[in-house]
A = this chain, B = another copy of it.
Amino acid sequence: MNPRLPDLRDRSDARRPKGRPRSHEAHVAILKAALSEVHELGFRALSIDSLSVKSGIAKTTIYRRWPNKAAVVMDAFFYEIGPGIAFVPCEKSVDSIQIQMQALAKAFRGKFGPLIKALLGEAQFDPELAEAFRDRWIAPRREAAKAVIRDAIGKEELRSDIDLDTTIDALYGGLYYRLLIGAGPLSQAYVDDLFRHVMGGLRPRSRKGSRQA
């Protein structure tokens, strides 16, 4: 996983290894080929051979850097998504959460949906891929979410007795559920609904049926 890119930062103390360095152009060419193949033909139709043809990079070179096609596509995914879907600060922290949920759903609906589906699908059979996906995609987002949730608790926008992990699961589980199982659209309205349901709870609040946004 995580192939070492040639270290282009020339820190004078960090000595370059002796031989011919790995080609950065080759690296990018492969990732771009992987993206176009997975978008046009799908993950299953992609093979290291087809990648080699499309990118013009020898198959052996690809195998020198990645153990399998899933690892390539994973790197391609992060190459394309860059810093990813971040939380934008809002006056109310819960708004920040809702907006981020909408952003994630939008990514799921768009070109990243098939990529994440493919990676998670493959991860069901490849523990290393699963771990890498958790470390590189899931965990950072969960950490960011926890910070926002803590803020929200501090501002008394959320209960003080909630568990952070469970809260994240309750909010985001539905999004991944719909992405992976497809039992319903990932529409904007759905995300708002899900957010409202989890925020407000399912139990009757009081005698006066007050519905909160």
Contact = CB atoms under 8 A, between A and B. Distances in A.
A200 B201 contact: yes
B124 A167 contact: no
Interface in A159-178: 159-163, 165-167, 169-170, 172-178
B205 A159 contact: yes
A3 interface: no
A204 B158 contact: yes
Interface string A41-57: 01110000000000000
Given A169-B184, A170-B202, 15 more contacts: A44-B125, A120-B181, A121-B123, A138-B181, A159-B200, A159-B205, A160-B204, A166-B193, A166-B197, A169-B173, A169-B177, A170-B197, A176-B176, A180-B180, A201-B203
Interface in A131-182: 133-134, 138-139, 142, 156-163, 165-167, 169-170, 172-178, 180-182
Contacts of A204: 156-160
A174 B180 contact: no
A14 interface: no
Contact of A124 (B121, B130, B178, B194): B121
A183 interface: yes
B125 A183 contact: no
B134 A183 contact: yes
Interface string A192-213: 0110011111111100010110
A69 interface: no
Nearest to A165: B184
A175 to B, nearest CB: 8
